[in-house]
């Protein structure tokens, strides 16, 4: 099976040098430092006047790293994807790319894959560090697999969004800004709209149920993330709050998990954005 030439060319130029290994080295070193400081500051549990290790700290460290890497996706992906097409246009190499016999949708897919490859490489490399908590229990391999799967689909949606704006706008900076604004609406704007709705129409007379939450937050990455970590989160923490906001009725069990709804939206939204981008990126006649 032949490799997409866009992917092959971009990976050769970006991964062959020293920057990619150095980036992984510094990123893993930073995560290890964060993990060490977190354990150092929270590893004591007082029981009847005696100090002992609190295994809950390991689980909270896992949740902290998981949330940190979700923020990494949200903040870094627009920078990596914003110039994928507009950058080619600014360098006046886009026409050469479109002159090839390769379909535009494969060019778009290749650009998306290459753009998010760096972040997925960092997240994949960090899995052994997050796996340290296996020694203390509370987190299993299924939790890690689900988390990684959630990252991949979320990265696909964010990458498709960045490529879409990079195709629509001629300037890279405009594409990046529009991507950030859209992500801001999906993550913060949906919570604001939901809060205003309950403030003016429901008056918080009762806690929102799952259907109401899903109606407002189905596109919000944190909505799906809440049930990804539900088995490792405690109520008296920010992670517990994310679980409550993802399940409704103060954490009542639901038939469909919020991550299923959120990832379903991500896949459909990505397909729509890729289709529009491929249509917009018309080859030279």
Residue 74 pLDDT exceeds 90: yes
Residue 250 pLDDT exceeds 50: no
CA separation for the pair 189, 155 (Å, rounded): 20
Ranges 153-162, 193-202, 224-233, 270-279: which has the least confidence: 193-202
Two tokens, residue 270:
């990505």
Q: What are the residue ranges spanned by the domains of the chain?
A: 63-280
Two tokens, residue 268:
């459909």
Element (H, E) at 30: helix 19-42
If you average pLDDT over residues 251-263, what whole number do you get?
Answer: 77
Q: Is residue 46 classed as helix, strand or coil in its secondary structure? A: strand
51: which DSSP letter? Answer: E
pLDDT (tens digit per residue) in 107-165: 888 888 888 887 888 888 888 887 777 777 667 788 888 999 999 999 999 999 999 99
Confidence of residue 244 (pLDDT cuts 50, 70, 90): confident
Q: Is residue 204 classed as helix, strand or coil in its secondary structure? A: coil
Q: What is the pTM of this model?
A: 0.85
Given a contact cutoff of 8 angstroms between Cβ atoms, the answer to whether 183 and 74 are in contact is yes
Between strands 50-53 and 44-47, the pairing is: antiparallel
pLDDT score of 204: 53
pLDDT (tens digit per residue) in 18-37: 767 887 888 888 888 888 88
Alpha helices in 43-103 (DSSP H): 56-81, 86-90, 94-98
- Looking only at Cα atoms, what is the longest distance across the chain? 80
For residue 165, give the nearest of 74, 68, 274 by alpha carbon.
274
């Amino acid at each position: 099976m032949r490799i997409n030439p866009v992917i092959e060319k971009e990976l050769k130029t970006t991964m062959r040098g020293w920057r990619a290994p150095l980036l992984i080295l510094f990123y893993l070193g930073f995560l290890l430092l964060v993990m060490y400081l977190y354990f150092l500051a929270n590893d004591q549990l007082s029981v009847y006047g005696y100090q002992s290790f609190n295994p809950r700290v390991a689980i909270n460290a896992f949740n902290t790293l998981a949330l940190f890497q979700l923020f990494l996706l949200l903040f870094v992906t627009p920078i990596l994807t914003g110039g994928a097409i507009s950058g080619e246009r600014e360098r006046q190499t886009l026409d050469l790319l479109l002159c090839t016999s390769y379909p535009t949708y494969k060019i778009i897919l290749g650009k998306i894959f290459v753009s998010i490859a760096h972040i997925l490489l960092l997240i994949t490399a960090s899995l052994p560090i997050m796996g340290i908590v296996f020694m203390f229990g509370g987190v299993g391999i299924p939790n890690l697999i689900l988390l990684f799967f959630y990252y991949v689909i979320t990265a696909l949606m964010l990458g498709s969004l960045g490529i879409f704006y990079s195709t629509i706008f001629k300037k890279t900076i405009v594409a990046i800004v529009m991507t950030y604004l859209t992500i801001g609406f999906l993550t913060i704007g949906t919570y604001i709209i939901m809060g205003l709705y309950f403030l003016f129409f429901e008056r918080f007379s009762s806690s929102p149920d799952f259907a109401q939450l899903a109606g407002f937050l189905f596109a919000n990455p944190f909505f799906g993330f809440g049930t990804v970590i539900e088995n490792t989160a405690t109520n008296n923490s920010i992670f517990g709050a994310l679980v409550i906001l993802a399940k409704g009725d103060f954490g009542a069990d639901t038939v469909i998990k919020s991550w299923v709804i959120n990832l379903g939206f991500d896949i459909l939204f990505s397909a729509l954005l890729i289709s529009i981008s491929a249509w917009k990126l018309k080859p030279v006649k």
